[in-house]
Amino acid sequence: MADQTPPRTYETPPAERPITEAEAARSAGLAHNEHIKIASGYLRGTLADGLLAHATGAISEDDGQLVKFHGMYLQDDRDIRAERTKKKLEKAFSFMIRLRIAGGVVTPKQWLALDDIATTYAGSALRATTRQTFQYHGVIKSNLKRTMAAIDATLLDTIAACGDVNRNVMAATNPAQSGAHKVAYELAKDISDSLLPKTNAWREIWLDGERVVGGEDAAEIEPVYGRTYLPRKFKTVIAVPPSNEVDIFAHDLGFIAILDAAGQVTGWNVTVGGGMGMTHGETDTFPRTADVMLFCEPEEAIKVAEAVMTVQRDWGNRKVRKNARLKYTIERYGLAAFRAEVETRVGHAFPDPKPFSFTGNGDRYGWTEGDDGRHHLTLYVASGRIKDYPDGGAQLLTGLRRIAEIHEGDFRLTGNQNVIIANVPSEKRAEIEALVDQYGMTKGASALRRNSMACVALPTCGLALAESERYLPDLMTELEASLASHGLQDDEITIRMTGCPNGCARPYIAEIGFVGRGPERYHLYLGAAFDGSRLGKLYAEDVNASEIKTLLDPLFAAYAKGKTPGERFGDYLIRDGYVTKTINGPDFHEKTGALKSAA
């Protein structure tokens, strides 16, 4: 369970709530994005016109913020940015499109359609994300509407996949717990639907839907969000112990299933205030693990979700965007005040959370049998990139297409960027197994790789300071050799890398976390918990590949020698005094990680 937050002094919450739109508009010093939202006419802006401007592959800066609510980002190919600037050419603009797939479940028919879209418009690749959905990269402006129409035809959409709204809702996928998984998945879908923006802008702009005329009444158009939506992104997730593969402590809002002896869900512990993003050198920004706030009955989960989100809507910081996430709201006003307001809005008090425990935040690879007798195969997908790899590498795109053509169950994306071929009847297992082998797909990898994640970073991410997805595999090859030399090749250790401090692969809750600082340089974080409930600490600053190996090798040696039975790497480093334990929130920046050297 997450460590308790030490006592702090909190601000008094706003006296009157909710803050009205007029008040919000009048308030001096609102962040620029607030003005963009107010002026956008419920997320329309000048997007429709911008799409018709053929002289550029881009859209305006303000529309670039709005288009996120539609599930898209304007990007450019950073590998050729300098060359194009030298030639005085416009950047090589294209769009990243992120789907909304609650719980990460897609049918074989949808899979085939999504594959077709990738092949036609997006460089023949699907990218499974750390939040159980797919992204397309490299869609050019002139193909956007065609791509969106094709997505719509799959009965999926991209509404609220990004932007200041409740985003794709994640749910536990652990196939061995079929019954509880089903309940978690249903809740994810219900929350996703009930907290979805209601504006017609998406259909209107991308599918030439009819313009809904008149009506400036926010209560009618966006009854929950209003004109200004949320202060910042908002992420919701459902976990089923003992697996924490969805990393519940990293999200704004979470529901932890409380199971009875028969494995039935009896209710939910509600978590609030997790988040990873921070800015290098700004200690008023920090990652934070969520607090476990209260217990609610199954039928109250949606009401609680809406109450948590609307308190954040009304209390969140709309002036300083970097402090706008729910984690800062809770740090500002305190968990007790936040909980009291949630209870007021729902209309009654809730019991305290019930006991639970997690064992890890990774996936279970290979075949598993669910409690309903169906079979499930979790495939390892390096950094979630589903494509046909060159030089004899896995033919992941083609292989999964072949499987989708014969599969009768469904596919599930995991929060660790992997794919589960789920609900396979016994008689189909051998056929699927043969295709997995034929196309070189892998049911496993080294213990380190099985517990690894890297964010996209270069060349598409505009915020990347360093490589991640393209670099972590090579670094792991070297670390695997080091681990093997100490007899640790089978030890499960979580390792994650991101190209900047935004934390898209949740590196601060990996036992070994790398966070990009600049080209080929990373901050190294150590001492997080294997189950994702404790943040690591900064151990070494600005280290390059050879320094990383030099720093980690003696720590692996010490761990091999000093660990007690079952002791995890992160826990060992704290017990033996290599790093201090992070309590939570602002304490993350408390000096120091490196207490003693293993060399």
CB of 463 to ligand SF4, least distance (A): 4
Phi-psi region of 552 (alpha: psi -120 to 50; beta: other; left: phi over 0): alpha
CA 92 – CA 141 distance, rounded (Å): 11
Nearer CB in complex with ligand SF4: 337/457:
457
CA 542 – CA 261 distance, rounded (Å): 49
Nearer CB in complex with ligand SRM: 328/539:
328
CA 469 – CA 191 distance, rounded (Å): 31
Nearer CB in complex with ligand SRM: 248/342:
248
CA 10 – CA 337 distance, rounded (Å): 9
One-letter amino acid identity for 354?
K
CA 403 – CA 443 distance, rounded (Å): 15
Query: Which of ligand SF4, ligand SRM, none has residue 500 at its interface (CB below 5 to 8 Å by kind)?
Result: ligand SF4
162 scored as a contact of ligand SF4 (CB under 6 A): no
Q: Which residues contact 452 (CB under 8 A, 6 or more apart)?
A: 472, 476, 494, 495, 496, 497
Out of 70, 325, 407, 496, point to the residue binding ligand SRM (CB under 6 A).
Answer: 325
CA 97 – CA 88 distance, rounded (Å): 27
115 in helix, strand or coil? Answer: helix
510 scored as a contact of ligand SF4 (CB under 6 A): no
The residues facing 294 across adjacent strands are 270
- Give catalytic residue positions: 98, 167, 233, 235, 455, 461, 500, 504
Query: Which of ligand SF4, ligand SRM, none has residue 325 at its interface (CB below 5 to 8 Å by kind)?
Result: ligand SRM
H-state helical runs in 426-568: 429-438, 447-450, 472-485, 545-562
CA distances (Å), origin 404, targets 166, 397, 430, 459? 30, 10, 15, 30
3-state DSSP helix/strand/coil percent for the chain, to nearest 5?
Answer: 35, 20, 45
195 scored as a contact of ligand SRM (CB under 6 A): no
Query: Which of ligand SF4, ligand SRM, none has residue 414 at its interface (CB below 5 to 8 Å by kind)?
Result: none
Out of 47, 237, 464, 548, point to the residue binding ligand SF4 (CB under 6 A).
Answer: 464
73 scored as a contact of ligand SRM (CB under 6 A): yes
170 scored as a contact of ligand SF4 (CB under 6 A): no
H-state helical runs in 316-352: 326-333, 335-346
Out of 5, 158, 468, 494, point to the residue binding ligand SF4 (CB under 6 A).
Answer: 468
CB of 135 to ligand SRM, least distance (A): 5
10-39 residues in contact with ligand SF4 (CB under 6 A) are: none
Out of 455, 509, 535, 574, point to the residue binding ligand SF4 (CB under 6 A).
Answer: 455
419-458 residues in contact with ligand SRM (CB under 6 A) are: 455-456
237 scored as a contact of ligand SF4 (CB under 6 A): no
Out of 381, 504, 526, 579, point to the residue binding ligand SRM (CB under 6 A).
Answer: 504
Out of 463, 481, 561, 562, point to the residue binding ligand SF4 (CB under 6 A).
Answer: 463
The residues facing 498 across adjacent strands are 515
What is the contact mask toward ligand SRM in residues 101 to 140, using x (rule: CB under 6 A)?
Answer: ----------------------------xxx-x-x-----
**CB 94 within 8 Å of CB 57:** yes
**Site residues (CB under 6 A) for ligand SF4?**
455-457, 461, 463-464, 468, 498-500, 502-504
**Site residues (CB under 6 A) for ligand SRM?**
73, 75, 96, 98, 129-131, 133, 135, 167-168, 233, 235, 247, 250, 275-277, 325, 384, 417, 455-456, 460-463, 502-506
